[in-house]
Chains A and B, each alone.
Chain A
Amino acid sequence: MEPMIRVSNLCKQFGSLLVVDDISLDVAQGEVVVVIGPSGSGKSTFLRCMNFLEAPTSGQILIRGKPLGIYVDGSGRTRPLPPRELNVQRAEIGMVFQHFNLWPHMTAFENVILGPMLVRKLSRDEATARAEKLLRRVGLFEKRLSFPQNLSGGQQQRVAIARALALEPRIMLFDEATSALDPEMIREVLDVMMDLARGGMTMVVVTHEMGFARSVADRVIFLDQGKLLEAGPPAQIFDSPTHPRTRDFLSKIL
Chain B
Amino acid sequence: MTKLDFSVVIDNLPLLLEGLWLTIFFTVTSLALGMVIGVVVAIFRVCPIRSLKIVGLVFVEAIRGTPLLVLLFILYYALPQVGIRLSAFTAGILGLGINAGAYIAEIFRAGIESIPVGQVEAARSVGMSYGQTMRKIILPQAGTVVLPPLTNEAISQVKATSLVSTIAVAELLRAGQQIISMTFAAVEIYAAVAVLYLMVNLTLAWLARRLEAKQSRGRRRIGQINEVGV
Contact partner of B118 (CB less than 8 A), chosen from A51, A97, A149, is: A97
Contact partner of B121 (CB less than 8 A), chosen from A97, A119, A149, A163, is: A97
- Do B219 and A90 touch (CB < 8 A)? no
- Do B119 and A164 touch (CB < 8 A)? no
**Contacts A99-B118, A101-B118 given; does A118 touch B136 at CB 8 Å:** yes
* Whole-angstrom CA separation of A167 from B128 in the bound complex: 11
* Whole-angstrom CA separation of A97 from B124 in the bound complex: 13
The answer to whether the Cβ of B4 comes within 8 Å of any Cβ in the partner chain is: no
- Do B125 and A53 touch (CB < 8 A)? yes
The answer to whether the Cβ of A252 comes within 8 Å of any Cβ in the partner chain is: no
- A95-125 interface bits toward B, Cβ cutoff 8 Å, 1 = contact, 0 = none: 1010101111100000000110011000000
- Do A83 and B125 touch (CB < 8 A)? no
Q: Report the count of interface residues on B (CB-CB < 8 A).
A: 22
Q: Which B residue sits closest to A99, measured CB to CB?
A: B118
Contact partner of A164 (CB less than 8 A), chosen from B116, B125, B128, B130, is: B125
Contact partner of A83 (CB less than 8 A), chosen from B116, B121, B130, is: B130
Contacts of B140 in A (CB 8 A): 105
Contacts of A101 in B (CB 8 A): 116, 118-119, 121-122
Q: Which A residue sits closest to B127, measured CB to CB?
A: A91
Contacts of A93 in B (CB 8 A): 125
- Do B118 and A53 touch (CB < 8 A)? no
Contact partner of A105 (CB less than 8 A), chosen from B127, B129, B141, B220, is: B141
- Do A103 and B137 touch (CB < 8 A)? yes
Contacts of A90 in B (CB 8 A): 124-127
Band of interface residues on A = 20 to 34
- Do A102 and B122 touch (CB < 8 A)? yes
Interface residue ranges of B131-178 to A (CB < 8 Å): 132, 136-137, 140-141, 144
Q: How far is the CB of B134 from chain A (nearest CB, A)?
A: 12
Q: Which A residue sits closest to B218, measured CB to CB?
A: A147
Q: How far is the CB of A156 from chain B (nearest CB, A)?
A: 12
Interface residue ranges of A160-178 to B (CB < 8 Å): 160, 163-164, 167
- Do A119 and B127 touch (CB < 8 A)? yes
Q: How far is the CB of A177 from chain B (nearest CB, A)?
A: 13
Contacts of A164 in B (CB 8 A): 125-126
* Whole-angstrom CA separation of A101 from B115 in the bound complex: 11
Contact partner of A87 (CB less than 8 A), chosen from B121, B128, B220, is: B128
The answer to whether the Cβ of A94 comes within 8 Å of any Cβ in the partner chain is: yes
**Contacts A105-B140, A105-B141 given; does A91 touch B126 at CB 8 Å:** yes
- Do A114 and B136 touch (CB < 8 A)? yes
- Do B122 and A53 touch (CB < 8 A)? no
* Whole-angstrom CA separation of A99 from B122 in the bound complex: 10
Q: How far is the CB of B4 from chain A (nearest CB, A)?
A: 54
The answer to whether the Cβ of A72 comes within 8 Å of any Cβ in the partner chain is: no
* Whole-angstrom CA separation of A133 from B26 in the bound complex: 54
- Do B125 and A87 touch (CB < 8 A)? no
- Do B122 and A95 touch (CB < 8 A)? yes
Contacts of B127 in A (CB 8 A): 87-88, 90-91, 115, 119, 167
* Whole-angstrom CA separation of A192 from B126 in the bound complex: 19
- Do B141 and A104 touch (CB < 8 A)? yes
The answer to whether the Cβ of A84 comes within 8 Å of any Cβ in the partner chain is: yes
Binding site for A on B (CB under 8 A): 116, 118-119, 121-130, 132, 136-137, 140-141, 144, 218-220
Binding site for B on A (CB under 8 A): 51, 53, 83-84, 87-88, 90-91, 93-95, 97, 99, 101-105, 114-115, 118-119, 147, 149, 160, 163-164, 167
| 30 examples of A-B residue contacts, CB within 8 angstroms | A51-B125, A53-B125, A84-B129, A87-B124, A87-B127, A88-B127, A90-B124, A90-B127, A91-B127, A93-B125, A94-B125, A94-B126, A95-B122, A101-B118, A102-B119, A103-B119, A103-B123, A104-B141, A105-B140, A105-B144, A114-B126, A114-B136, A118-B128, A119-B126, A119-B128, A147-B218, A149-B219, A163-B126, A164-B125, A167-B127
What are the nearest 10 A-B pairs in CB distance?
A91-B127, A101-B122, A101-B118, A119-B127, A95-B125, A115-B126, A87-B127, A90-B127, A118-B132, A105-B141
